[in-house]
Structure 1
């Protein structure tokens, strides 16, 4: 695994038919999927693939999730999903995320997630590897300076 320089991260996505209910509005649980994809892409951007981490006996699992829905997204909307590391501990991270509509920058959903680092074989907590910890710590430092 390798780490690249940490920077603020956003992930673009679009609302597809499969993401919506019968009224063409994004089904609430799909915001969680959008945010999961953004966290996964953040890892990839830092140089850590989930396949490689799994082969190194490392997984990240969501321990807790809290979401607040502010406005609906609709079919074909372009969205931007942000990822911010709020807190970093030895074996866990806390993320703050937002989903915004690109056309008007309206905040649609925001969430707080606690993600635990575990051994893939036992699902027992383990320390975040040094390189990954350093990459996330740079995120915390970058955002603290804003």
Structure 2
């Protein structure tokens, strides 16, 4: 049984940012030991899911309770440097947009202080039944509103 009170695996919130540490495993890399480009999206997804859990929700609970899912609407990645096998990385997530039915994040993937990838991703709240945009559940919107950060560093 999973201990849902163990937040160590979920990273932590620092100010308005979520910090999610991870290690690059063999399965994340290509034959040369370099992280395969699509896996940066997986790292970012894990970080957003972990943040959601720290806010007191899970993707499953949101789907079951509100009959909605959060789906990717638009995404851009700016690759600056490659990560390699067994690197220790940090995914730093910052909520930059909170709309009626949408969320926007800037996510930075770093090795120590070295910026590797910048991801800007916009998500839409979708009705599971009709597969159409639907307003974010109010309790979820309120939880995220605390972390809205429109200031650039």
TM-score (norm 1): 0.89
Q: CA deviation at 1:129?
A: 1.1
Q: Secondary structure at the match of 1:90?
A: coil
Give the secondary-structure state (helix, strand or coil) at the position aligned to 1:36: helix
Unaligned runs of 5+ in 1: none
The normalised TM-score by structure 2 is 0.85
How many angstroms apart in 2 are the aligned matches of 1:128 and 1:122? 15
Structure 1 residues 12, 51: CA separation in 2 closer, same or farther (over 3 Å shift)?
same
Q: What is the total number of aligned residue pairs between the two structures? A: 139
SS at structure 2 position matched to 1:31: helix
Residues 9-60 of structure 1, C-alpha deviation per residue, up to 9 Å, x if partnerless?
A: 1111110001111110001110010001101111111001111111120100
Deviation at residue 138 of structure 1 after TM alignment: 1.0
Q: 1:145 to 1:14 in 2, by over 3 A?
A: closer
**Superposed CA RMSD:** 1.8
| 3-state SS of paired residue (1:22) | coil
Corresponding residue number in structure 2 for 1:74: 84
Aligned residue number for residue 28 of structure 2? 19
